Amino acid sequence: MPNSVPASIKRRLTQLKQEISAHRDRYYLLDDPILSDTEFDQLFAELLRLENQYPQLVTADSPSQRVGATPLSQFQLLTHVSPMLSLDNAFTKEEVLAFNRRIQERLKSQETIEYACEPKLDGVAVNLSYVQGTLQRAATRGDGQVGEDITLNIRTIQQIPLQLHGKNIPKYLEVRGEVYLPKKAFQRLNRRLSAAGEKPFVNPRNAAAGSLRQLDPKITAQRPLAFFAHSLGAIKEENLPPQHTLILQQFAKWGLPVCPQTQVAHTIEACLHYYQALAQERPNLPYEIDGVVYKVNSLAQQQRLGFISRAPRWAIAHKFPAEEATTRLLAIHFQVGRTGALTPVARLEPVLWGGLPSVIPPCGGCHS
């Protein structure tokens, strides 16, 4: 028979969960902690002790549920309430201007078109489902209609709230965003893997994807993943803010992290200026990006513009050119194949690639 729970214990558990969640937000979202690590650990230890004593009080939004679930044998599949579409790409200024002309022609009016400009993070797209403000499910994009259930792994990411806070929280909310690995965290992870004799990851995106697809969430919890919310999926709410950027502001009020580099552009020329400015700032950003996303800011205009089969007409990704680096040829060795054929192999000096130390692998077949 389960232990009866005194009212004072219930109140203390509620208080602990609120305090721990608030301190996590200050640490991971605001970068403004007011407790020492020791003080925080003491609060968390008290929470675990009380939940172990009264397991019937463990809830899905408890900070204790971020780590410790039983490993999965395989991922289940989840159907998205609204499709997770891809984006069309633009690689030149002319393609961006053509995108803007199509928007103007489809709207068939002289109304102002305002764009939300955002960095295109080089991470993994995910969908978070909140019911009554509590995180219930999380899934990968998959084929856009059906993705893999990664709920247990998503719970380990400290920046993602298990419980939304604030006013006017919808009964049901799907939040789309990007899970990524910050540059410094990527370097630390690879050093740790190398020291343990394990193969390091090639880039932060591969590291994020590999971490999210661990069947054991304890492994994912050891990876310093981060998250930015960037768009709205399904929602049960009539009074939506009228603009995409206002929705992002509402996300932030509910405790969801959003990218601080997001800006509003009132002309397509301002979008292109944002692109150039972010390209210059790219090496200094704490995360990897591979371009910029432009979205029509007005939700009413988005609705009128609609979609094609795989992408919205009201958004486009303006990709950066492929990064290049120059290195020095150290030596050329020759390998003898099974048939006796000689293959030259170049040994190249390591270079800094995208702001990260990178070793260019031997180049088989290079000719002097």
- Positions annotated as catalytic residues are 120
In 10 A of CB 123, how many CB atoms?
25
Burial 250-283 (b: 16+ CB within 10 A, else e): bbeebbbbbbebbbebeebeebbebbeebeeebe
Tokens of 261: 């580099």
Number of helices (H), then strands (E), belonging to the chain: the values are 10, 16
Give strand pairing partners of 127: 139, 176
CA atoms within 13 A on the CB side of 365: 0
- 160 closest CA partner among 217, 114, 96, 226: 226
CA distance 170 to 365: 59
Residue type, 144: G
CA separation for the pair 300, 292 (Å, rounded): 23
CB 187 within 8 A of CB 358: no
User: Quick check: 146 and 78 in contact, CB under 8 A?
Assistant: yes
Give the burial string for 3-37 (b: 16+ CB within 10 Å, else e).
Answer: eeeeeeeeeebeebbebbbebbbebbbeeeeebee
The whole-angstrom separation of Cα 305 and Cα 99 is 12
What residues have CB less than 8 Å from 6, skipping those under 6 apart?
A: none
- CB-based contact 230:178 (threshold 8 Å): yes
